Amino acid sequence: MIDSMFRTVSSAERFERVGVPAEPSAAAHTRDAFSRWLQSTFDLDPYKANDLVLAIYEALANTAEFAYSTTGFVGTMDLCAAHDSAESALSVTVADRGRWRTAPSYPADRSRGRGIALMKALSDQASIQTSTSGTTVRLVWTGIRRR
């Protein structure tokens, strides 16, 4: 994870939004900026681009909704994407400094709770690391080439 001072980076190899307030509106703005970066930097068909955007938004939205829900304050989240041109792979990390929320053993609302499954289905690799100092979601897509 990177420090929580708000910072933005956009280049052909990297996209970073660090220290973003973990709120729904900030998650939406970050998603939109990431989508514009994808469209301007990579040669993706619209379906693949939508898969990437939806997967990272699920990670951002989960952070905004759950990471700091028991703290009483708005924490921050970081989105860092890096392209490896030699491997034609794009890796995206969404991280927070909040607490992992364990899902109830029964679904309270059957229309919810599909975010992690979506992230895994829409990416080539997905991992979630949790600790007392935060959660890190890492998503990887292969076959991603720059324009």
Is residue 31's pLDDT more than 90? Answer: yes
Q: What is the C-alpha separation between 122 and 129, in angstroms, rounded?
A: 18
The model's confidence at residue 2, banded by pLDDT at 50, 70 and 90, is very low
Of the ranges 5-9, 111-115, 121-125, the best mean pLDDT one: 121-125
Q: How confident is the model at residue 3 (pLDDT cuts 50, 70, 90)?
A: very low
Least confident range of 9-23, 52-66, 82-96, 122-136: 9-23
Categorize the per-residue pLDDT at 136 as very low, low, confident or very high, splitting at 50, 70 and 90.
very high
User: Would the pLDDT of 4 be above 50?
Assistant: no
Burial grade of 56 (CB within 10 A; 0-12, 13-18, 19 or more): buried
3-class SS letters over the chain: CCCCCCEEEECCCEEEEEEEECCHHHHHHHHHHHHHHHHHHECCCHHHHHHHHHHHHHHHHHHHHHHCCCCCCCCEEEEEEEEECCCCEEEEEEEECCCCCCCCCCCCCCCCCCHHHHHHHHCCEEEEEEECCEEEEEEEEECCCEC
Residue 7 pLDDT? 72
